[in-house]
Amino acid sequence: MGLALTLIAQRISLGILMLFAVSALIFVGTQILPGDVAESILGQSATPENLANLRKELGLNEPALTRYFNWLGGIMVGDLGTALTSGASISEAITSRLGNTLFLAAVAAMISVPIAILLGLFAVRYKDRWPDKLISASTLASISLPEFFIGYLLILVFGVKLGWFPTVATVYDGMSFGDRLNAVMLPALTLTLVVLAHMMRMTRAAILNVMQSAYIETAELKGLSSFKIIWKHALPNAISPVINVVMLNMAYLIVGVVVVEVIFVYPGMGQYLVDHVSKRDVPVVQACGLIFAAIYIGLNLVADIISVLSNPRLRHPK
């Protein structure tokens, strides 16, 4: 168990260092963005004196290194800063929007993960036969289409033609769970179609790799049915790579929702980020970018830890 704990500690340390490195990249990237928030606030008719006064008031005339460490110090105490264009607290604005994004990602995960695993099992059961080829072709077709195309296609079919779901994903405080679920169904289905193929193919590949093991051959010689062998013997031993790919796609579901949230006008983190990029509101862009990076790194870290803990050779080294 000592080796496993050492590897976990190394993964956590690496994750923290990576997060600091990403924070520096985000800060540098926002500094080289074209445009000026002071010009965006005052408009084209602003005088040089007014621009200089506003830049001083907003702290934009301080050295970049000073602004970076001030920003980093604020994050350490939970202060994400203030939006330059509205003067509102970024932390308060992000709290509800992050909850909306997490809810959307959770709904998409609850739909996509079971379907992907079941399709992977079904594809293994009928390997190289027409069901396997049909599943692979269908999922590859879905992942080959861009998100905006899938989103608009679902809006046309299920929103406009059939009228089953709203075309705009409007959610608000006090909304019932059922109404909220109905509102996010189309964006959740869009995300499901985007990540389904990857999870299904990785599940299929992991199980097929286990199916070549000697104990699988023993189970076959005992006369067990193919599906029972896959479900009770192959899947439990292939769970580690399956969990890894699920966690990676969970990370994508949270940080890759920008396009989907814009299409469905969903009040989440992605929509908030896009709105403030157009306004050149650097603190908001930095805060959103860092939160997305922290979630992505954190979920990858969880996947690494689960992989270590699920490996008996690391938990019980000889």
User: 1-5, 159-163, 179-183, 298-302: lowest mean pLDDT where?
Assistant: 1-5
Owning domain of residue 213:
90-278
Q: Is the pLDDT of residue 40 over 70?
A: no
pLDDT at 51: 63
Token digits for 80?
A: 């994400």
Identify the residue whose tokens are 């109905």. Answer: 182
Tell me what the mean pLDDT of segment 125-153 comes to.
79
Task: Categorize the per-residue pLDDT at 214 as very low, low, confident or very high, splitting at 50, 70 and 90.
Answer: low
Q: Is the pLDDT of residue 314 over 60?
A: no
Task: State yes or no: pLDDT of 313 exceeds 60.
Answer: no
Reported as a single tens digit per residue, the pLDDT across 173-204 is 777 888 888 888 888 888 888 888 778 887 77
| pLDDT of the residue at 180 | 84
| pTM, 2 dp | 0.76
Q: Is the pLDDT at 285 greater than 70, yes or no?
A: yes
**Is residue 77 in some structural domain?**
no
Res. 236 pLDDT band, cuts 50 70 90 = low
How many beta carbons lie within 10 A of that of residue 216, not counting itself? Answer: 17
Amino acid in position 251: A
What is the domain-level CATH number for residue 121? 1.10.3720.10
pLDDT score of 44: 61
Query: Per DSSP, what are the bridge partners of residue 89?
Result: 82
pLDDT exceeds cutoff 80 at 82: no
pLDDT score of 34 = 61
Q: What is the dihedral of CA 188, 185, 122, 310, to 10 degrees?
A: 50
Name the residue among 62, 95, 63, 66 with its Cα closest to residue 78.
95
What is the structure's pLDDT at 164? 85
**Is the confidence at residue 230, as pLDDT, over 60?**
yes
Q: Is residue 14 in a domain? A: no
Question: Is 313 inside any structural domain?
Answer: no
Q: What is the pLDDT of residue 77?
A: 77
Q: Evaluate whether residue 79 is within a structural domain.
A: no
Alpha carbons 166 and 188: distance in angstroms, whole number: 13
In a domain, 49, yes or no: no
166 inside domain: yes
Domains: count for the chain: 1
Position 162 scores a pLDDT of 84
Q: Is 302 exposed, middle or buried (0-12, 13-18, 19+ CB in 10 A)?
A: middle
